[in-house]
Structure 1
C-alpha cells in the first residue's frame, strides 16, 4: 500500500466514524424533540396495511408522480440515493486498493450495467431538477419562494458530485486497464476512460474514491448540525411520516377533521376539565408527536404553496412557510423543554438556554409586534380546501394543524374575525349561519307543481333529501334545491325532507374552530336522523355531504350519504332521466373542494354534464379535478370578509371565463354564490358577456330533459 492509499484510508475512516457518530446523535435528538408532542395512539395500527402503503408511496412514488417530469426525476434520485450505496462500499476498497471490485458481483456485467444505468439516470435527473428549480424560482408566485435555497443547492451539489465520481472512478480504472466490464454494459464509463490518460490512473482512482467518500459522509455531518434542514432530512423522515399518516389505508388527511385531542384521546366536552385538558393548540408542544414529525419532514418543495388559493391571491398564508415556521420554532424551543422548562435563571444561564427561553416566550399565534410564530392573518386566510394536503408528497396534514390552532383561538381566546362571531351566534340561536327564521326552511317548496314529501313518521322513503341551510334559505341555492326535487320527482325516486326539523350540520363551526358548538349541532342532528329511521341521505351541499358522511359516525350517525350529482348520474345511466335537449354555448365545470379533493367525487358531475351536452364536450378549466382552484368560501371563509390581496372567487371566475363557455356549472351552494358574485362583478365591469351564467349541475340537467 502506497503513501497515497495510507493517507486516503486514514482520512476515509476518520470522516466515516465522525459522520456516523454525529448522525446517530442527531437522530436521537430529533426523536427526543418529536416525542415532546402529545400522545396519539391511533397512528401505528394496522401495521401491515400501513407498511404496505408506505412502501407503495415511497418505492412507487405514487404521490410524486402526479407531477410527471419532477416525479420521474425524483424517483431516480431516490433510487440512486439508496442503491448507489454499493458504490460507496466499492470506494472504501478502492481507497485501499484501486483495483478493488466487490466480491461476487464485481466484474459481473449485469451489475455493471445496473450501476451504469442508475448513475446516468441520477445525473440526468438531478440536472433536470436543478433546471426546474432555477426556472420556477424566478416566477412571481414561485413554489420555491421562502425555501432554503442554499441548502437545496448543497444537496444538489452532493448528488451531482457522487454521480460524477462514480464515472470518473470507472473511467480511470478503464484507462489503467483494470476495468472488467464489457463495453455494452458500461458504454459511458468506457467512453470516459478512452479520454483519460493511463499514467497515474490508479492513483487518481484512490483520490477520487476518497473524494466520493468525503462528499458522501460530509453530507451526513452537515445535516447533523442542522436538524431543520428539511430538504435533506426528508430522505429519512418521509418513510416514517407516511407510515404514521392519519389514514392507514393511504387516503389523505382530508374529509373528516381530526377530533380535538387531549392526552391522546378525543376530548369529551361533557367531562372535559379546562385546567387539564387541551382545547386546541396554543403551544408547539401541544401538537401531537405526529405534528412535530410533520414539521420535521417538510422538504420545502412548495407543492402545497403552488396550489394554495390564499397564496396565489396575495394573502400571507403559505402552507409551506406555516409548516417551516412551526418546525423552526419547535427546534429552537426544544432545548428549554428538554431541560424540563426550568424557571431558575441561574440554571438557564448555566445550561445556555437563554435563546431557547426567549423562543419559548413567543406566542404561537400572534402579530409580528407580539413576536408571534403564526400571524392571525395567516391562520384565518385558510379556506381548508385541502389542496396542500392533496399535493404534499410526504403526507403532511396541514389542515388539521391549522384547525387545531383555530380551536384554541376560538374556544379559549375568543380571538377570531369579528364578522365570524355573528355567524356563530346565529348558529347557536337560529340553527343557521344567516340567522334566518328556522321555520322558513320549507319555503322553497312553495310554487312547485308537486308535493314534496315530509318525514312524518308514516311516509316511507328511500332517501332523505338533506336540503342544508343554503339550499333552504339562500335565494340562489333554492334554485338548485327546486331543480333537484323536480328531478327526483320526475325520476320516481322515493324521498322525503325534514323541513323545519333540519338544522345546520355544523360545518362552519367546526372549520372555524368552535368544536363545542359543532358537537352540539351534530348530536342534535344525529338524534333527529336516527329517530326518523334514516338510512340513506342525498345532499346538494358538499359541506353537508362531507360532515354527515365523514364526521357524524363519530357521534353515532352512520348513514349512506351521496351527493346529488352522484344520484343524478345514476338516474341518467339507468335511463330514469333522459336528456333530450343539448346545452349550447359551451359548458365548463368547477370542482367544489369538499366534493372533489375531500371526497374524490370527480366523475359523476361530469357524467351528468356530458349527458346534458349531447355531442358537445365539456371544456375544462386549466385547474381542475384534484388541482381545482377553490372558490374561497370553505373553512368558514364564506362568513368572513376578504380584505387582503385579490379575491379568490375573482381569480377562479377569470379562469372560467378564459374557456369561453357561456355556462359555468357548479355542484355546491357556496361555489354557486362565490362564482355567481364574481361573474356579476365581471359583467358590471364589462369583462364578461351578459350571457355568461353560473348554475348548478342539477339545473343544467333539468334544462336538458325538458323540451319546453
Structure 2
C-alpha cells in the first residue's frame, strides 16, 4: 500500500480546538498590528527630520534588504556573533515563511480547489528545508545562550539588561526545540515512515524518545499538550513583538532603510526658525532619532569600541540611547515626570559630563549593526548645553577666542601665516593671484609650534613638486568642525559664512586641507548650509546668500590625497629606498571613518622606503586619539588616556613591537594629542611622533644627501615635471 507523503496539520486537535486556535491567532494578529501602529504613531509626535529619509524608497529597501540579509555588519569585528545571528535570522525567517506557506495551503488553496499542494515532492522538500534551517536556528540560539550565560560576554550585560532579554532568548529557544519535540512525537506515533527521514532532526528526536520508553499512545497524548504549548507560546510571541525587545526585528530594518549615508560626517543644520534645535524635551528628537532608540538591540558593540568608555569616561553610547528610550516610554506610560533631557548637575535624563566625554569619533556608528546615528542625538544634547551656557570653562575660552580673534588660540589674525616666515620661498596669496589649490592651513598648523613644522614640510612638498597653491593669510579662520560637534552651531555658521565669502573672492580650482577635521567640514558640511536663511541676520557677519559648492564643482581634498598623486606621478623623485626603519600609522577618525581615506596615507609612507607595521586596530577600526569633539581643549581625569593606550598598542601589539621607531600621523590634532600622550605615558624615549609630511621630507633629504629635517629652510631644486 502506498503511503501518502504528507502529514495532518491539526492532528489530535478537535474542531473546537481548531476554532479556538484561529480565535487566538486572530487576537494575536490584532494585538500585533495595533502595537506596530501605536509605535509608529508615536513618531508622528516627534520633530520633523531636516533631511529626506524616504526618498528613492525602493532603492533604499533593496539596499537595506541586502545589508540585513547578508548580516555583513554583524560579521565586522565579531565573526562568532555574525554566524550566530545569521543562523538565528535565517532560521527564523525560514520558519516564518514555512508557516505562512502552510497557512496558504490550509486556509486558501484547499478551500478554493478542494486539493492540497502540501503532499508528495513538495512536502518532502518543505520538510527537509524546514528541518535544516530550523536546526540552524536552534544552534544559533544555543550560541547566544552560551555567550550570554556561560561565556558571560561583558557587553551583553549592563544597567539596561533585564528579564525581558532573558525571556526573549529563552522563548526563541523553546519555540525551536519545542517544534522538534512535537515533530518527533508525531513521527514516533506514525511508526517512523520512510519518507519522514527527510525531517532528519524530528526523526532523530523521535528515535531518542522511543529509546526513552515513549510508546505510540503516550506520544499521541504528549503531542496534544506539546502542540497547544507550542501554539500558545508562538501566538503570544507574535502578540508581544511590538511591546518588547522583539520589536527590533521591525524597527532595525526600518532604521537601516531610513539611514543617512552622510550621518555623522554631516550634522543636521539648524533651521532659521530654530524649531527643535536643542533637546529641551523628548519630542525635540526627530522621528528618526526616536526610531534609533527603538532599534537598539542592547548588543553593546558601540560600547566595545567607544574610546571614551575604554578610558573610564562616563559615556556608554548604548546607555545614552537606551536612557532616552526608557525615559520616553516611562513618560508616555505616566510612570515618570518630565525632567530636563540633559543638565549639568541635578536630575536629568543624561548628565552633562556624559556628553562632554564624547570624542565624536563615530566608532559607535561604524560598529552599530542597525545603523543608529548616535552623533545626531548627541549633538542635539550638546546644543542644549551650549545654549544654556553649561559647557566647561575651557570650551567657553575657546568660544571667546573664536568670536574675538577667529582662532582657537586667541592669537592675532595677523600672525596666522607667521609659520611661513622661515621658508626660503613665498607662499602665494590666494586673494591676489590665481592658483590651482587654495590651501586651508588650519589653526594648529598656523599657531602651534609643533604643527608649524608640519605646515612648513607640506609647503616644501608643494614647492618642490611645482604645485600651484595659495593661502588666505589673515582671512583664514578656524573651520568650525569640532565646535559644531560640541554644540556651538551659530559660531560654526559664522565661520562657515566667512569662509565661503572668502572663497568667492579668490580664483582657484580646488581646496586642500592640512587637517582632516577641516577637510570633513568643508567637503561635507559647508555645502549643506543654506546661508541664505541667515544672511540677513544682523548677528551673522556675512552676506553670502545660498548654498556654496552644492554640486561639488570645487573638489575638496585632504593633503594626503594630493601628495599621493605627486608621489605616484614621480614629481618628488622618490624611488622607495630612501629610508630604512619600521613605523606604524594611525588612521585619523575624520580622515578614515568619516571619509574612507585609507590608502593614500599608506602609499605615501611606503614610498619613503620604511616598513609599515599596522596596529591591530587600523583603518575603520582605528582607536581615537581623544582630541575630537572638543577633547583637544578639555581636561579629563582618565586612565589611561586614549593617546597613551594607542601608543602602548603601537609598541606592544604590532608585530614589530619595540622595533617601531616612529608613530606616523596625518592630523594636527592627533599630533598634539600623541605628543602629550608620549610625555604623560612615559614613551618619550621609545618612539617619535611624526606627520606624513615630515616623513616624506626626511626621505627627500635622504635622497639629496642633506639633513635639514622636515622644518628645514634650505632651498632645494624643484623636481617638478
TM-score (norm 1): 0.86
Match of 2:325 in 1: 327
1:42 pairs with 2:52:
yes
SS of the aligned residue for 2:587 comes to coil
Pick from 283, 286, 308 the counterpart of residue 284 of structure 2.
Answer: 286
* Distance (Å, rounded) in 1 between the aligned partners of 2:580 and 2:250: 54
> Which residue does the alignment assign to 2:202?
189
Equivalent residue number for residue 91 of structure 2:
80
Deviation, 1:94, is: 13
What corresponds to 2:146 in structure 1? 131
Partner of 1:204: 222
Relative to 1, partners in 2 of residues 1:473 and 1:123: Cα closer, same or farther, differing over 3 Å? same
Quote how far apart the aligned CAs of 1:522 are. Answer: 0.3
Say which of 573, 587, 606 aligns to 1:610: 606
In the alignment, the residues of structure 2 paired with residue 703 and residue 624 of structure 1 have an alpha-carbon distance, to the nearest angstrom, of: 24
Check if 1:213 corresponds to 2:197: no
Give the whole-Å Cα distance in 2 for the aligned partners of 1:664 and 1:8: 73
Deviations 1:575-611 (A, max 9, x none): 2231544544421111111111111111111121222
Separation in structure 1 between the aligned mates of residue 197 and residue 372 of structure 2, nearest angstrom: 44
- Counterparts of 1:337-376 in structure 2, within 5 Å, are 353=334, 355=335, 358-360=336-338, 362-366=339-343, 370-376=346-352
Question: Which residue in 2 is equivalent to 1:312?
Answer: 310
Does 2:642 align with 1:643? no
Corresponding residue for residue 390 of structure 1: 366
Deviation of residue 125 (structure 1)? 1.5
1:520 alignment counterpart:
494
Compute the displacement of 1:138 (Å).
Answer: 5.3
Structure 1 counterpart of 2:189, from 159, 165, 176 = 176
Q: Distance in 2 between matches of 1:396 and 1:441?
A: 40
CA distance in 1, matches of 2:453, 2:469: 18
In the alignment, structure 1 residue 167 sits paired with structure 2 residue 180: yes
1:479 to 447, 453, 460: 453
Q: What aligned pairs does 1:687-702 form with structure 2 within 5 A after superposition?
A: 688=683, 690-702=685-697
SS of aligned partner of 1:145:
coil
* Among 121, 125, 133, the residue aligned to 1:118: 133
Q: Distance in 1 between matches of 2:419 and 2:328?
A: 52
Deviations 1:22-67 (A, max 9, x none): 2222222212222210122621112232222221222222322323
Bigger shift: 188-197 or 42-51? 188-197
Q: Is the 2:650–2:663 Cα contact (8 Å) retained in structure 1?
A: yes
1:409 paired with 2:418, answer no
- Do 1:583 and 1:613's aligned partners in 2 also have CA atoms closer than 8 Å? yes
Matches of 1:583 and 1:192, distance apart in 2: 67
Structure 2 residue aligned with 1:342: none
Please state whether the residue corresponding to 1:84 is helix, strand or coil: helix
Mapped partners of 1:608, 1:183: distance in 2: 64
User: Partner residue of 2:590?
Assistant: 594
The normalised TM-score by structure 2 is 0.85
The residue number in structure 2 matching 1:243 is: 257
Cα deviations by residue, 1:476-512 (Å, 9 ceiling, x for unpaired): 1111111111112222222222222211111132111
> Which structure 2 residue ranges, 5 or more long, are not aligned?
1-9, 108-114, 530-546, 706-721
Q: How does 1:47-62 map to 2 (within 5 A)?
A: 47-62=57-72
1:195 and 1:243 mapped to 2: Cα distance?
45
Of the candidates 463, 469, 476, which is equivalent to residue 489 of structure 1?
A: 463
Q: CA deviation at 1:671?
A: 0.6
Deviation at 1:126, TM superposition (A): 1.6
Shift of 1:10: 5.5
Is the Cα contact below 8 Å between 1:462 and 1:495 reproduced in 2?
yes
Q: Per-residue deviation at 1:162?
A: 1.9
RMSD: 2.7
Counterpart contact for 2:401–2:409, Cα < 8 Å: yes
Inter-partner Cα distance in structure 1 for 2:123 and 2:106:
21
Question: How far 1:103 sits from its partner (Å)?
Answer: 2.4
Tell me the SS of whatever aligns to 1:446. Answer: helix
Greater CA deviation, 488-497 or 167-176?
167-176
Distance (whole Å) between structure 1 residues aligned to residue 225 and residue 16 of structure 2: 10
* Distance in 2 separating the partners of 1:212 and 1:325: 35
Deviation at 1:530, TM superposition (A): 1.7
Is 1:12–2:21 an aligned residue pair? yes
Structure 1 residue 671 and structure 2 residue 678: aligned? Answer: no
Q: Partners of 2:599 and 2:64 in 1: how far apart?
A: 27
1:628 and 1:497 map into 2 onto residues whose CA distance is: 31
Does structure 1 retain, via aligned residues, the 8 Å contact 2:440–2:472? yes
SS of 2:616 mapped into structure 1: coil
User: Helix, strand or coil: the match of 2:350?
Assistant: coil
Whole-angstrom CA distance in 2 between matches of 1:302 and 1:381: 18
Cα distance between partner residues in 2 of 1:524 and 1:387: 31
Q: Alpha-carbon deviations, 1:380-408, whole Å to 9, x = none?
A: 11111111111111111110111111112
**Structure 2: how far apart are the matches of 1:39 and 1:579?**
56
Q: Is 1:656 aligned to residue 653 of structure 2?
A: no
Unaligned runs of 5+ in 1: 261-266, 336-352
The answer as to 2:265 corresponding to 1:255 is yes
Q: 1:433 aligns with which of 408, 424, 427?
A: 408
Q: Contact 1:445–1:452 at 8 Å: present in 2 too? A: yes
The answer to whether the Cα contact below 8 Å between 2:666 and 2:691 also exists between their aligned partners in 1 is yes
Q: CA deviation at 1:546?
A: 0.3
Alignment partner, residue 620 of structure 1: 614
Q: C-alpha displacement at 1:154, in angstroms? A: 1.6
